[in-house]
Amino acid sequence: MTFKTEQEAFWAGEFGNAYIERNQGDALLASNLDFFSKSLRSTRGIQSCIEFGANIGMNLKAIQLLHPSIQASAIEINATAAAHLQQVIAADKVYNTSILDFEPTHTYDLTLIKGVLIHINPSELPKVYDKLVASCGRYLMVAEYYNPSPVTLAYRGHTDRLFKRDFAGEIMDRHPQLQLLDYGFAYRRDPNFPQDDITWFLMEKK
């Protein structure tokens, strides 16, 4: 697999493999279940979803508990993570490719991206925004680190690997058919169900 950006190669390789080990387990599943029970409370009739950058499927596991009959698909750049994903959702619904190379062919009731836009090269964000919206049949969930203006931060000793900005605001400016339906914040110091200081935005396509 060839990549357009350094960030893609970073997550497809050894760093991405190490991320798998740090981000799994029952405690994370419980936190994700709490997260999605709150962030998806305004949705109705979700029967299909696609997650951009699903890793090993910890988000999808929680969504499946909330919507047991949901038909789930996922995009994942890391081959090891994609192999794990095939134990969570149907193997033919796992797309082991870069988000930058993925071409949506149909829409889903829910399109989800969580903790992934922050790691994408900022020059590629408009293309990713367009792919998210093209995949969205009704609801788009964006859950990322938020900052009102773009900033770049060090990430585990690496530079140019973590970017914060108003992703949801930029998406809605670019695609005015999306309207904000709900939003909220999940805190890393929550005593019961911590998340990684994620601000989430639920949008609906009109």
In the chain, domain spans: 6-205
Q: In what helix (H) or strand (E) does residue 58 lie, and over which residues does it extend?
A: helix 58-66
Q: Which residue has the higher pLDDT, 18 or 170?
A: 170
pLDDT at 17: 80
Mean pLDDT of 92-104: 97
Q: What is the pLDDT of residues 30-54, one digit of tens each?
A: 999 999 999 999 999 999 999 999 9
65 exposed, middle or buried (CB, 10 Å; 0-12, 13-18, 19+)?
middle
Distance from C-alpha of 15 to C-alpha of 204, rounded to nearest angstrom: 34
CATH of domain 6-205: 3.40.50.150
pLDDT at 206: 92
pLDDT for 204 equals: 98
Asked whether the predicted pLDDT for residue 15 surpasses 90, the reply is no
